[in-house]
C-alpha cells in the first residue's frame, strides 16, 4: 500500500510539473523522466504561457500542497543554489494553506499534553487564527485568565514530509546522475538542505527555545517584543505562548491610521538586524508579514513583534568577526581589506592573488559608490561580491547565504516603509558601536579577566612543563607526529617503491646467475638439456621481476 501511494504521489507531482511546463522552463526537469507523452495528454495550466519560469515553479509548488510550499520557502533562502529569477519568485510563496479541522487540533493537543484540553485551558477556540504549511494556531485562555495561542503541528505531517523527501531524494539522484551540469545544480545538496531545515521546523520545542532566547536578548526593550513561552504546555508537537496584538507588517493603511512613524520604523528595522547579527549572534531569518507585527504602543517610536521562530540564524564567532570587519571595510570603501578578510577567514584559498581579488572587488563596488548612498542597496552589493567570490573558488558558507537573504529582506522592508532611507547612514554607526564594544580594548580586558582564573590555576604547572620540554630537547627525545591521508599515501608509495627496487635487483641478479650457469654448463642434474640450478635461478628472477611490476596504490 505504501509503495502504491508513493507511485500515485509521484505521478501527481509529474502531472503538475508538466501542466506548468516546467520541463520546458527548467532544463533539469527533463532529466528525471521523458515528459513528451505526458505533455501530449495534459493541457497547459491557464495563463502559464505568459509566466516566467520562476512564477511557473511557484504556482506548481502551491498546487502540490503545503509541504512543497515549505520546500519552496526554504529553497528561496539558498540563492547560491538557484538562479536569481527563480529565487525571487519563490520568496513570494505565502502560507495561505487550508486549515485542518479544529477537532483534530484538540485531539493532537490532548495527546501531546496527556490530559483533556479543558483541564489545561479555561477556553480553547477550534477556529484557527492562522494556518500554515507545517502548523496552525488556535487562540485559548489559561485558568488564570491570560490569553495565549497554541501552535500545533498538522496531523500526519512527519509521515507526509518523509514520503515527499524520499521522492525528492530519488528525483535528485536521477538528476545528479543524468544532468551534464549536476555539479553546478547540486540537486543532492539542495534536497539535503531542505531536509535539514524541515527536520528543525518539525520540532516545536526547538522553535520555542529559539523564541525564548530571542525574548531574553530583548527583554525590557520596546524595540522588539517576543511573546513568552509557556513551557508546562509546550511539547515537540505544540507550543503554547503569550498572545500578542499588533498591526500586520504589510497593512500600510492601518499603520498610517495608527499614526506610526514610518521613517523611524524603517531605521529600527535596519538597526535591529545589525544588532541581532553582530551583538547577539542570533537573528530572525524569516522576516515576512505573517511572522512580524507592529506594536500599537508608542506609534511615534514604534516597535516590532516577532511571532515565528522556526528559522533563526547564527554564525561561528570567527565568521561573525570577519563579517563585521567586511561590512566596516565596505562602509569605508577599503577594497584591499575586504580581499584580505576573505582569504584570512578561509572562505577562499590562500593561493588566490590578493591584488587580483582586490581589483575584482573594486570593479563590483565602484559603480555603486558613484550614486548617492541612499540609493545603494547594501544587500545587493554583498550579493554581487559573493558572485565575484564564486569565480575565485569561494567556499560556500550556508550561514552567510541565510544572512545575505535576510539582509535583502530587511532592506526591502525598510525601503518599502521609507523609500528615502539611507541604509548606510543608519547601519554604519550601529556596527561601529558594536565593534568597539565586542572587539575593543574594554572587550579585550573583559576576555583577560574571564580567562585569568584558569591561567592562575595552571600557572604552578608551567615551570615543570618548561623544564620537561627543555630536558627532552637536550636529550633529543622530541618526536614530530603528523597524520595526513596524503602523507600516509606518500609513505605507502615510498615503501612500495623500495620493495620494487629490491625485487628488481634480486631478479636481475638471479637472471645473471642463471645465464652464467647455463653458459658454463654447470654440473648437476639437467632438465631438457638445461642445468637445473640455472633453471631455478631463471624462474626465481622472473618471479622477482613480476613482483616488482608497478601496481596502483589505492
Asked whether 296 and 258 are in contact (CB, 8 A), the reply is yes
Continuous H helices in 234-353? 252-257, 262-275, 317-331, 335-344
> Which one, of 343, 379, 380, lies nearest residue 358 by Cα?
343
Q: Map grid coordinates 485551558 to a residue.
A: 121
- According to DSSP, the β-strands at 247-248 and 292-294 are antiparallel
Q: What separation, in Å, do the N-terminal and C-terminal C-alpha atoms of the chain show?
A: 45
Angle ∠(184,190,192) on CA atoms, nearest 5: 130
Count CB neighbours of 323 within 10 A.
Answer: 21
Cα distances from 146 to residues 241, 244, 308, in angstroms, run 10, 11, 20
- What is the C-alpha separation between 448 and 362, in angstroms, rounded? 38
Residue 3 sits at φ, ψ, to 5 deg, of: -65, -40
511: β partners: none
Burial letters 258-275, b for 16+ CB under 10 A, else e: eebbbebbbbbbbbbbbb
> Which one, of 95, 91, 161, lies nearest residue 128 by Cα?
95
DSSP string, 439-458: HSHHHHHHHHHHHHHHHHHH
Q: How many residues does the chain have?
A: 554
Active site residue 286: yes
Classified as helix, coil or strand, 247 is strand
Residue 472 C-alpha cell reads as 627532552
181: enclosing H helix or E strand:
none
Residue 191 C-alpha cell reads as 534536497
- What is the C-alpha separation between 9 and 388, in angstroms, rounded? 41
Asked whether 118 and 136 are in contact (CB, 8 A), the reply is no
18: enclosing H helix or E strand:
helix 2-19
| Catalytic site residue from 95, 164, 286, 319 | 286
Catalytic positions, written as ranges: 286
Amino acid at each position: 500500500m505504501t509503495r502504491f501511494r508513493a507511485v500515485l504521489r509521484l505521478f501527481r507531482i509529474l502531472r503538475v510539473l508538466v501542466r506548468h511546463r516546467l520541463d520546458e522552463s527548467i532544463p533539469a526537469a527533463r532529466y528525471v523522466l521523458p515528459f513528451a507523452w505526458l505533455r501530449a495528454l495534459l493541457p497547459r495550466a491557464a495563463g502559464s504561457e505568459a509566466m516566467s519560469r520562476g512564477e511557473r515553479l511557484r504556482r506548481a509548488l502551491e498546487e502540490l500542497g503545503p509541504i512543497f510550499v515549505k520546500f519552496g520557502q526554504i529553497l528561496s533562502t539558498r540563492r547560491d543554489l538557484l538562479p536569481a529569477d527563480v529565487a525571487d519568485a519563490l520568496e513570494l510563496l505565502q502560507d495561505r494553506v487550508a486549515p485542518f479541522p479544529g477537532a483534530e487540533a484538540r485531539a493532537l493537543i490532548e495527546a501531546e499534553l496527556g490530559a483533556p484540553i479543558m483541564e489545561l485551558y479555561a477556553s480553547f477556540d477550534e477556529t484557527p487564527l492562522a494556518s500554515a504549511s507545517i502548523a496552525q494556531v488556535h487562540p485559548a485562555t489559561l485558568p488564570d485568565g491570560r490569553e495565549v495561542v497554541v501552535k500545533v503541528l498538522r496531523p500526519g505531517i512527519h509521515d507526509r514530509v518523509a514520503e515527499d523527501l524520499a521522492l525528492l531524494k530519488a528525483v535528485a539522484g536521477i538528476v545528479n546522475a543524468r544532468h551534464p551540469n549536476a555539479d553546478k545544480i547540486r540537486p543532492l545538496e539542495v534536497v539535503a538542505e531542505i531536509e535539514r531545515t524541515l527536520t528543525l521546523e518539525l520540532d516545536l520545542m526547538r522553535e520555542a527555545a529559539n523564541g525564548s532566547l530571542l525574548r531574553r536578548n530583548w527583554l525590557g526593550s520596546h524595540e522588539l517584543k517576543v511573546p513568552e513561552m509557556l513551557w508546562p504546555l509546550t511539547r515537540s508537537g505544540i507550543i503554547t505562548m503569550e498572545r500578542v496584538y499588533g498591526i500586520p507588517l504589510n497593512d500600510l493603511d492601518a499603520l498610517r491610521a495608527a499614526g506610526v512613524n514610518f521613517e523611524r520604523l524603517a531605521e529600527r528595522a535596519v538597526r535591529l538586524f545589525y544588532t541581532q547579527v553582530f551583538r547577539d549572534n542570533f537573528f530572525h531569518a524569516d522576516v515576512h508579514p505573517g511572522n512580524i507585527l507592529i506594536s500599537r504602543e508608542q506609534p511615534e517610536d514604534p516597535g516590532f513583534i516577532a511571532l515565528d521562530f522556526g528559522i533563526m540564524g547564527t554564525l561561528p564567532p570567527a565568521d561573525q568577526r570577519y563579517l563585521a570587519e567586511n561590512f566596516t571595510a565596505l562602509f569605508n570603501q577599503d577594497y584591499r581589506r575586504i580581499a584580505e578578510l576573505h582569504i584570512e577567514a578561509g572562505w577562499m584559498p590562500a593561493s588566490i592573488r590578493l591584488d587580483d581579488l582586490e581589483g575584482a572587488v573594486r570593479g563590483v563596488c565602484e559603480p555603486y559608490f558613484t550614486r548617492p548612498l541612499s540609493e545603494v542597496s547594501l544587500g545587493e552589493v554583498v550579493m554581487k561580491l559573493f558572485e565575484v567570490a564564486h569565480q575565485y573558488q569561494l567556499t560556500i558558507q550556508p550561514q552567510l547565504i541565510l544572512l545575505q537573504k535576510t539582509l535583502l529582506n530587511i532592506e526591502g522592508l525598510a525601503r518599502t516603509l521609507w523609500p528615502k532611507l539611507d541604509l548606510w547612514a543608519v547601519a554604519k554607526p550601529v556596527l561601529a558601536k558594536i565593534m568597539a564594544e565586542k572587539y575593543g580594548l574594554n572587550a579585550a580586558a573583559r576576555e583577560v579577566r574571564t580567562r585569568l582564573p584558569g591561567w592562575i590555576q595552571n600557572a604552578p604547572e608551567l615551570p615543570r612543563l618548561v623544564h620537561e620540554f627543555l630536558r627532552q630537547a637536550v636529550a633529543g627525545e622530541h618526536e614530530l607526529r603528523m597524520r595526513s591521508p596524503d602523507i600516509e599515501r606518500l609513505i605507502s608509495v615510498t615503501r612500495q617503491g623500495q620493495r620494487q627496487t629490491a625485487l628488481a635487483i634480486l631478479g636481475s641478479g638471479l637472471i645473471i646467475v642463471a645465464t652464467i650457469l647455463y653458459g658454463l654448463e654447470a654440473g648437476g642434474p639437467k632438465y631438457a638439456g638445461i642445468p637445473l640450478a640455472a633453471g631455478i635461478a631463471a624462474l626465481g628472477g622472473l618471479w622477482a621481476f613480476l613482483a616488482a611490476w608497478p601496481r596502483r596504490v589505492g
